[in-house]
Structure 1
């Protein structure tokens, strides 16, 4: 790599370090007893409901659409596994800025009024564990909006068809 290539790489690394350090949110150690599990990606802590970021789990129920029996069954498994994981080490909860237009943060128009958070277990995002176990899908939002929600019926069909003997 030439001198200018190394310089650009160094500049990029420094810029990234500064940028991400400004986004850093202080995580707080939290007791498992302080957490009420709503589903695989939503918890209640201290009277506040948090939508955990970086992943999505199937819905147990929702007003937005009809939930299939297969999706509900997988959602219950994901919630149960999430609850089990909470008992496997130290937990940190960091509130993060929700991916909504600034004027809507904290209102029903932003994430149904929930706060956004990142929950780590032994320093690792708990969502990554659920993704690895095929109980969740990556779900990464932009600065002020999120992509379309995962199509859980299609995901479940794909998982089951991949597991069927040919």
Structure 2
């Protein structure tokens, strides 16, 4: 045999040195792709730690950075249940729990207000888990995936925090109504639709009389 049957163009194997180079290049590409994925993941999340100031029941500040605690929601500013300022009570509950201890946060996003959004803990206890379990906040499935659903169910059952008050469910219902009223207060926008016969038809958006 003249060796022609081993030539690549006839289906023969590649030279050993070329095969070795191909393997090395493939390995380097895989390692590079893995490192890039790791770097991107690290860049998307930031760790912040320190003594926190409490802004409200679901927002804190560490080293001048405001952080919206992810996955749960506490009563908004001005929320009351009879004579009880539940907005203030929720904030105080969080402040009492932190008690000047070091808070560790993993920031994974930024909201429209420029606040970091993430999960935070104190001595290994997730702040969302604590606030919801004590009845001063609600699970927010849209962002938590139901992570605090069991804590909320237990707080409701044991009538802790806001669940021991008669207007607990109304707190969030009133927040939704406030958002709707805010949207309705915006100047109306006239939408004009051109009909097939050349005529135009118009209607007003929400907020119009």
**TM-score interval w.r.t. the shorter chain?**
0.5 to 0.7
Match of 1:120 in 2: 121
CA distance 1:138–1:96, shift in 2 (3 Å): same
1:95 aligns with 2:107: yes
User: In structure 2, do the counterparts of structure 1 residues 76 and 70 end up closer, same or farther at CA, with 3 Å as the change threshold?
Assistant: farther
Which gives a bigger RCO, structure 1 or 2 (Cα 8 Å, sep 6+)? 1
Structure 2: stretches of 5+ with no match in the other structure? 1-40, 145-160, 169-209
Partners of 1:157 and 1:40 lie apart in 2 by 12
1:136 is displaced (CA, Å) by 0.4
Is 1:40 the counterpart of 2:88? The answer is no
Whether contact under 8 Å (2:47, 2:105) holds in the other structure is yes
> Separation in 1 of the partners of 2:123 and 2:77?
27
Q: How does 1:18-97 map to 2 (within 5 A)?
A: 25=45, 27-28=47-48, 30-32=49-51, 35-61=52-78, 67-68=79-80, 70=82, 73-87=85-99, 90-97=102-109
- TM, length-normalised to structure 2: 0.43
Q: Which residue of 2 aligns with 1:130?
A: 131
Once the 2 structures are TM-superposed, how far is the Cα of residue 158 of structure 1 from its aligned partner? Answer: 6.7
User: Which has more radius of gyration?
Assistant: 2
Structure 1 residues 86, 60: closer, same or farther in 2, change over 3 A? same
Change in CA separation of 1:90 and 1:112 when aligned onto 2, cut-off 3 Å: closer
Aligned counterparts of 2:60 and 2:83: Cα–Cα separation in 1: 19
**What residue number does 2:32 align with?**
none
Q: Secondary structure at the match of 2:142?
A: coil
Q: Which runs of 5+ in 1 are unaligned?
A: 1-21, 62-66, 99-109, 144-155
How high is the TM-score relative to the length of structure 1? 0.53
